[in-house]
Structure 1
């Protein structure tokens, strides 16, 4: 089941970032005052952007990095001026090959 990172514009001009399975339902919770404490006093106005991830762990990791952006950087990300890949750390390099994997197979003499 996919998870989404979403960014909301709030009435005070701030940008809230969160994760959810259903962004529309989560926005409704924020709008009704039953979402995060942050949005209870800053009333969300609209969903600025949402990004799909394969699982909760990846969405949560992306949320960690996006929350560290300035409001201007978050708006650039939401507008497509910045890519999500430019915000996230690069993926770890693949593990080095072991000697057994690197050696070509040889045929036994007949």
Structure 2
């Protein structure tokens, strides 16, 4: 018997994954509500996130798992996770340590659309 924790069957049934088996994960600072970033998760990334308390994503470009902060030190500690009504998006509320964006910005959403007009 495996010691690896699994995801609840009801959660697995409720997830509506895309053709690649992924679901969007919106990351939000738990105490301010600031939206920090968007990442992608498969079942294993979600399992790791829920059981380890550190946010793990699936990298579509590198085709591998990456746990936020392992190389940058900008860790995301999971506070809560919710599934939207359609089952095709997750909301992860986190305690962000350092910048969430790979550019060094606190949030990935730092570029107003008006800049492009």
* TM-score, normalised with respect to structure 2: 0.30
Bigger Cα Rg: 1
* TM-score, normalised with respect to structure 1: 0.31
Higher helix residue share: 1
Higher strand residue share: 2
